[in-house]
Structure 1
Amino acid sequence: MIVPDISQDEVAVADHYDELDPLYRRVWGDHVHHGLWATGRETTGEAVEALADTVGDRLRLKPGQGCVDIGCGYGATARRLTATRRVRVTGFTLSTEQSRYAAAHPVPDVDIHVRDWLVNGLSEASVDAAWAIESSEHMVDKPRFFAEAHRVLSPGGRLVVCAWLAGTDAGGWKVRHLLEPICREGRLPSMGTREEYEAMAAAAGFAVTGYEDVSRRVARTWWICAGRLVKAIFVDRETRRLALGARNRSAVLSIPRLILAYRTGAMRYGIFTLSKAGDDGARREPGTSTQQEPA
């Protein structure tokens, strides 16, 4: 597990997203996650929605199901899956600003809370499906993240986790100059490998029914962010102020690191599909990879 040299906690994560809220929305929009490209010809909007749709597919969502979006950001994925799959979604975010934006864009059957997932307050076996898109990285206690998901899921329920992962063999300068700073600058208390995630999921009681490494299909996200950020710094005073003077301005430095981390294989992007006991489909997902993509 990669751990930053300055410890991070839920307060630091909330402060990061609250302060940089205008920058995130200006540079990337209301989906605070990577895009997923299949052909390379998709627009950015199509790519970010493709990732949300992939999560819905892996969960096998059915109309009327109650779901949890763990680390829901602005609620964009929750809104999309409610509209396309006709499910009900409860979302959790640490950011007051993200919650405020979600409240200004309400839709039926989406309920957003400012609350730490590790103390979510949900009843045992109360939801049918859950997902965490790039939020497990911000969890101080990752084993508890999985344990809470297992607790609140009904028997047969599914959890999909889209995660930034350390390359299994990453070490030396890749950790020192890429992964550790990425954790520190992005307010990640730790970054695990695929093997560590699967071990924590299994310890919580999940069966790992699918894994796909989509690093190559998401990596262009950061080239797009870099281009948009540079342009916005020149034309927008608020972006310039945040990028150059905010408490959390070091996050801007992570963009070139992330580009290089993907290029060198130091960092991977994985999609895990997990099942709680009672699912008669506790088999590996058809069409998913069980191997890392080559760097």
Structure 2
Amino acid sequence: MIVPDISQNAVAVADHYDELDPIYRRVWGEHVHHGLWATGRETPTEAVEALVDTVGDRLGLVPGEACVDIGCGYGSTARRLAETRGVRVDGFTLSAEQAHYASAHPVAAVDIHLGDWLVNGLPDASADAAWAIESSEHMVDKPRFFAEAHRVLSPGGRLVVCAWLAETDASGWKVRHLLEPICREGRLPSMGTRQEYEAMALAAGFSITGYEDVSRRVARTWTICARRLVKVLLVDRDARRLALGARNRVFVLSIPRLILAYRTGAMRYGILTLSKATENGALGDPGTTRHQDPI
């Protein structure tokens, strides 16, 4: 597990997203996660929605199911899956600014909660499916992240985790100059490897039904973000003042690190699909997931 040399916690994560809210929405958009390219001809918006739709497919969502969006951001993923799959969604975010934005864009089947997933308060076995798109990285206690998901899911429930992952056995220079600074600058309490994530999921009681490394298909997200950020800084004085004067301005440095981390293989992007056993011990239906080794 890669751990930053300056400890991060939920308060720091919330402060990061609250303070940089205007920058995030202009540079990353309201989904605040990577895009997934299949042909390379997709627009950034199409690629971002493709990742959401992939999660919905891996979960095998059925209309009427109760779902949880763990680390829902602005609620855009929850809204899209509620509208396209007919599910009901409870979303959790640490950021008051993100929760405020979500409340200003309501969808009847989506409820957004301002709070920490690690103390979510949902009843046992109350959800059919859950997903965490690039939010597990911000969890201080990752084993508890998985344990809470297992507790909240009903027997046969499914979980998909899209995660920034560290290269297995990353060399010292990659850790020192890429992975550790990315954790520190992005307010990640830790970054795990695929093997560490799978071990934590198994310890929580899940079965692993699929894994895919899609690093090559998401990496261009950061060159797009870099171009957008440069444009914003050049044309918008208020955004420039915020980006250069914010407490969390150091995150700007992470964009070139992330580009290099993907190009060198120091960082991977994995989609992990998990199932909770049914009452008779069988696995839930994971939809169309498959297992692939990293590419």
TM-score relative to the length of structure 2: 0.97
Determine helix, strand or coil for the equivalent of 1:33.
Answer: coil
Q: Which amino acid in structure 2 is aligned with residue 38 of structure 1?
A: A
Equivalent AA in structure 1 for residue 139 of structure 2 = M
Q: CA deviation at 1:238?
A: 2.2
How much does 1:206 deviate?
0.1
Match of 1:288 in 2: 290
Check the 8 A contact 1:156/1:280 in 2, yes or no.
yes
Alpha-carbon distance in structure 1 between the residues aligned to 2:261 and 2:139: 21
More deviation, 27-36/272-281: 272-281
What residue in structure 2 maps to residue 26 of structure 1?
A: 26
Whether the 8 Å contact between 1:53 and 1:81 is mirrored in structure 2 is yes
Q: Separation in 2 of the partners of 1:216 and 1:283? A: 28
Letter in 1 for 2:184: R
1:180-225 CA distances to partner (integer Å, 9 max, x unpaired)?
Answer: 0000000000000000000000000000000000000000000000
Counterparts of 2:269 and 2:149, CA distance in 1: 21
* Equivalence for 1:156: 156
- Residue correspondence of structure 1 range 63-212 to structure 2 within 5 A: 63-212=63-212
- Tell me the secondary structure at the aligned position of residue 36 of structure 2: coil
1:144 aligned partner, one-letter code: R
Checking the alignment, whether the CA contact within 8 Å between 1:73 and 1:99 is kept in structure 2 is yes
Tell me, in whole angstroms, the C-alpha distance in 2 between the residues paired with 1:62 and 1:284.
12
> What is the one-letter code of the residue matched to 1:69?
D
Percentage of identical aligned residues: 80
Aligned residues, how many? 293
Q: Which amino acid aligns with 1:11?
A: V
The one-letter amino acid paired with 1:165 is L
2:201 match: secondary structure? helix
SS of 2:232's equivalent in the other structure is helix
TM-superposed deviation, 1:272: 0.3
Contact conserved, 2:58 with 2:289, CA < 8 A, in 1? no
Name the CA distance, whole Å, in 2 between partners of 1:106 and 1:38.
30
In structure 2, the CA distance between the partners of 1:282 and 1:290, relative to structure 1 (3 Å rule), is farther
Secondary structure in 2 aligned to 1:89?
A: strand
Structure 1 counterpart of 2:209, which letter? Answer: T
Contact 2:118–2:144 under 8 Å retained in 1: yes
Is 1:248 aligned to 2:237, yes or no?
no
Residue pair 1:8, 1:188 contacting (<8 A) in 2 also: yes
Distance 2:15 2:3 in 1: 19
Cα RMSD for the two superposed structures:
1.3
Q: What is the alpha-carbon distance in structure 2 between the residues aligned to residue 153 and residue 14 of structure 1?
A: 26
Post-superposition shift, 1:283? 8.4
SS in 2 for 1:179: helix
**Unpaired segments of 5 or more residues in structure 2?**
none
Distance across 2 between alignment mates of 1:143 and 1:202: 10
Q: For the structure 1 residues 189 and 31, does the alpha-carbon distance in structure 2 shift closer, same or farther, using more than 3 Å as the test?
A: same
1:100 partner letter: H
Letter in 2 for 1:110: V
Distance 2:207 2:284 in 1: 7
TM-score by length of 1: 0.97
From the superposition, tell whether residues 47 and 139 of structure 1 become closer, same or farther in structure 2 (CA, over 3 Å).
Answer: same
